[in-house]
Each structure stands twice: as structure tokens, then as C-alpha cells.
Chain A
């Protein structure tokens, strides 16, 4: 299990997608970060949501679907090791990657850009975990349904853009039609982003939105488990 984790970590570092999910949110942060006022509570939560969304919606499903497509899960089930171990290792690794991406964003924003960091660390962590859980659940469902890595990647892209739009990650929410913005708040990425903004603004995240995130995480991962095929 340890060796599996080591090898999978090496493979992840050789994956260009992993580098992109670290760099793209950082790029967005730096580009837009140079032109915002110091007390801003929108940009950093947005970059964090983008980072977690990219890992959950692109990288996780593409990796898992590719493993199934290439028969790696099947080959593993012919050894004394359960292929489930590989899934667990992957989930932990992708979680670490998402945390690394967020850590990097916070570090750069906190030092170079002098951005506002929230006081409620615990709420921030809670929102991060629930948001990541719901993103990963969707990623797992994509991995379960996609016949191969390329399709998984395609579905990830197709889902990401509307979700990012509805979440107000592509356009400020006050410029979106009120109705759309309202609906957007209840999408997984939207609830995640909105909760983050609330934490950043200094308040407590709305219990309703946290509940929405938890519900997505639970229901979607149950569906993913139901549809998942090893080969």
C-alpha cells in the first residue's frame, strides 16, 4: 500500500494535468490580483474554487477512467492487492493536490498580493472539505460513467464551464441575471464559492449552503459507487 502510494505520487508528478491544476488558478490569481483593492473578498475564494473544481472535475475522473480503460484496475484485481486500494490512494493523492493548489494560492495571495485572509480558519477548512467532497463526488461519478479517459476529460470540460459560470467564477455575480445567480448558488461549485466568500467576508457560512454541499457529496458519491465498474 505504501509502495502503491509512492508510485502513484511519482506518476501524478509526471502528469502535465497536475501541473496545470496548480498553475492555472495561480495564473488567474496573479493576473487579476494585481488590479484589485486590498480588502477584496472575492478573488481569492474564486481562485480556490477554480483550483478544487479543476482537480475534482478534470484530473480525478480522467485518471480513474484511464486506469479502467487501460485495464490497470483489472490487472490489479488479479494480484493479492484489492484494486480498491488504488482508488483510495488516488483519492488521497488528489486531495493532497487540491490542498497543495489551495496552499499555494493562499501563500502567494497572502504574501505577494497582500490579500485578505479570513479570520475563521475552522469555517474555511470546513467549507474546503465539504466543497472538495462534492467536487470529488462529481469526479467519481464522471469516472464511473465515462467509457474511457478521453470521454471523462470531455465530460469534465463540458460540466466545468457551465458550473463555473453559474458559480459566478467567470463573471461577477452582480452582473449576472438575478435568477441565474440565485440558481447558481445551489450548484455544487456555486455553493462552494458562495460559502467561501461568506467566510472571507468575515461571517459564518450559511448552514443551508453547507447542507447543500454535504448533500451533493453524499448523493453523488452513492450514485458513483452504484455505477462504478472495474472494467
Chain B
């Protein structure tokens, strides 16, 4: 079941077209990524879906409701972590959770959230005294305190150190595991690759592709190696590689061999070589990444 359906969304600020016909749908229980460089309309799209902005055209359905007309009902069922928002410096962690819980008809017990998000020992700390990672965890907890069906997380690991990012990723997976659909806005490839079930790739106010991260990267990988000199038997066996189902192409130039294939072809190739006692050196695998996929989709590099 689609929990969010966006069709032909359009938005202009003065003369600048920010969204130029954006369409996608988010299925229940998935982590849906909205990926693109800064300034491609990701946040505007999400803010329209949250009902914070009025689109100029197109239609949006969130849990079957219109986020502008049925704003209250929609906000009751969504949780939001916004980019660049803060809390008052002097508010205590528990006060913020208690306050936000009071906004919803059917909130979660915020004490549980404190435990889950590792903030129990920061219960009485003031917001201004928290570290970046702790603030971020509090924001996610605040997004979940209303017991939402959909959580929107906008650039949630920006400004965090690698360790804190990893931890945050694990927490996001836990949110999904608890049955909440997650919409994740990000300009980090690795984050999207790690977390998302499906991704909409944004470029210049349009969605240029929607697929799984693996599907987007898709295509073929290449593996290069050099046959050890004097290994006469190896020459023939290397040619046999073409018969492996995962391999799409083998090209040779002297001792240099380049094998192209899909999926887990690298394991198949190395197993094949080992089975035939072929010795190789300088083995390298060129993996396509989401960066390559983005460049291929848009004709420009990311960032």
C-alpha cells in the first residue's frame, strides 16, 4: 500500500522553478530515499508533503489525505525532523519530549524513547549542552514521540562525525523495524546506499530515476588481472571464463585480462581460476557506485 503518493508536483519561487513535475510514491514500511545534490528541490518536495508549503500544482496524498486541507489529521500521523531547526538552549531533554508528546492525541511514552535513543542519562541536560550526535538523536526521538506512521528525516547526519553517522544509521534501521515508514532526504550517497530500500534521484527539480540502490548502480562491474608469465595452461582457462553465467565479456591483451560481469561475478571468476590452478596478479575490481550512476543519469557529477 502506498502511504505517500506525489503526482506532478510543481513549485516556483518568483521566477525560479524549484519543482518541475515531481512524481513518486512511498510504500508502507520502506525506507524511501530522496537523493540529490543541494538545491535540487528535495527539501521543498518533502516540505510540500508535510504540508509546510503549498505546491503550485500537482497532487499529494499522505495516508490518503491532503496535507494542506487535512493538515491536522496528517500532522497527527507524521513525525518530522527538519533541517536546521534547533530547540531553545535552556530546555531540558525530558521537557522537550514531554512537551512534544502533549501535542499528539496518541503519543508514545517518552521515557521509552529516552531509553531507546540512549538519552536516559541526558534526561535533565539542557539542549544547549548536548553534543551534535545527542541533539540529532533527540530530534529523531521528537519525530517519533507522536507515534507516527511515517517519519521524515531531512539531512539527519549532516555535521556528524563518521562514528556518530554509523550509529544514527543503525537507529534509523530500528525505526523501520518498528513498523514506521521512513522518508530519508540526503545528499550522501553512502547513507542512501546503506539505508534505503528505494531511492528517488533528484536533479534540477525533477526525479530522474526511482529504483533500489543496487538497481541504480546496476549495470556491470569490471575485474582486471594479469596472468602470471609462463603459465601456459592459464591462457586457455581464462578464455573459458566466458562460459560462466555471470560473465558478460572477456577481453585479453597479452597477459592483461579484463572480465566484465554482473552481480557476484567476481566470486565466480576467482573460484573458476582457483579450480584450474591459474595464477594471476594485480587483481582489481572496478565497482560502479551511486556516484557513477548519478553522473550517468544526469550528465553531471554529484556536488
The chain A residues found within 8 Å of chain B, CB to CB, are 3-4, 7, 10-11, 14-15, 66-67, 70-72, 74-75, 77-81
Contacts and interface: CB of A to CB of B under 8 A. Distances in A.
A80 B104 contact: yes
A80 B85 contact: no
B100 A71 contact: no
B42 to A, nearest CB: 16
B30 interface: no
B82 interface: yes
A69 to B, nearest CB: 9
Contact of A3 (B50, B75, B86, B102): B102
A11 B50 CA distance: 28
B91 interface: yes
Chain B, interface size category, equals 20 to 34
Given A3-B102, A11-B90, A78-B75, 17 more contacts: A3-B98, A3-B99, A11-B91, A66-B88, A67-B88, A70-B87, A71-B84, A71-B86, A74-B52, A74-B85, A75-B80, A75-B82, A78-B52, A79-B104, A80-B72, A80-B103, A81-B103
A4 B86 CA distance: 17
Interface in B79-119: 80, 82, 84-88, 90-91, 95, 98-100, 102-105
Contacts of A77: 52
B246 interface: no
Nearest to B126: A14
Nearest to B77: A80
A70 B75 contact: no
Shortest beta-carbon contacts, A-B, top 5 = A71-B85, A70-B86, A78-B80, A3-B102, A14-B90
B146 interface: yes
Contacts of B88: 11, 66-67, 70, 72
B75 A72 contact: no
Nearest to B86: A70
Contacts of A10: 95
B90 A15 contact: yes
Nearest to A3: B102
B146 A79 contact: yes
Contacts, number: 57
A7 B87 CA distance: 12
A34 B205 CA distance: 69
B293 to A, nearest CB: 32
A74 B80 CA distance: 11
25 contacts: A3-B99, A4-B102, A10-B95, A11-B88, A70-B85, A70-B86, A70-B87, A71-B82, A71-B85, A71-B86, A72-B85, A72-B86, A72-B88, A74-B85, A75-B82, A75-B85, A78-B50, A78-B75, A78-B78, A78-B80, A79-B75, A80-B76, A80-B103, A80-B104, A81-B103
* B75, B99, B100: most-surrounded residue (chain A CB, <10 A): B99
A160 B290 CA distance: 57
Nearest to B71: A80
B72 A4 contact: no
A160 B104 CA distance: 41
A77 B84 CA distance: 15
Contact of A78 (B82, B90, B102): B82
A80 B86 contact: no
Interface string B47-89: 0001110000000000000000000100110101010111110
Nearest to B91: A11
A11 B128 CA distance: 13
Nearest to B87: A72
Contacts of B85: 70-72, 74-75
A204 B136 CA distance: 58
B103 A79 contact: yes
A7 B52 contact: no
Contacts of B146: 79-80
Given A11-B88, A79-B75, A80-B75, A4 B99 contact: yes
Nearest to B152: A78
A7 B94 CA distance: 11
A3 B146 CA distance: 15
Contacts of A81: 103
Contact of B100 (A11, A15, A74, A79): A79
Nearest to B78: A78
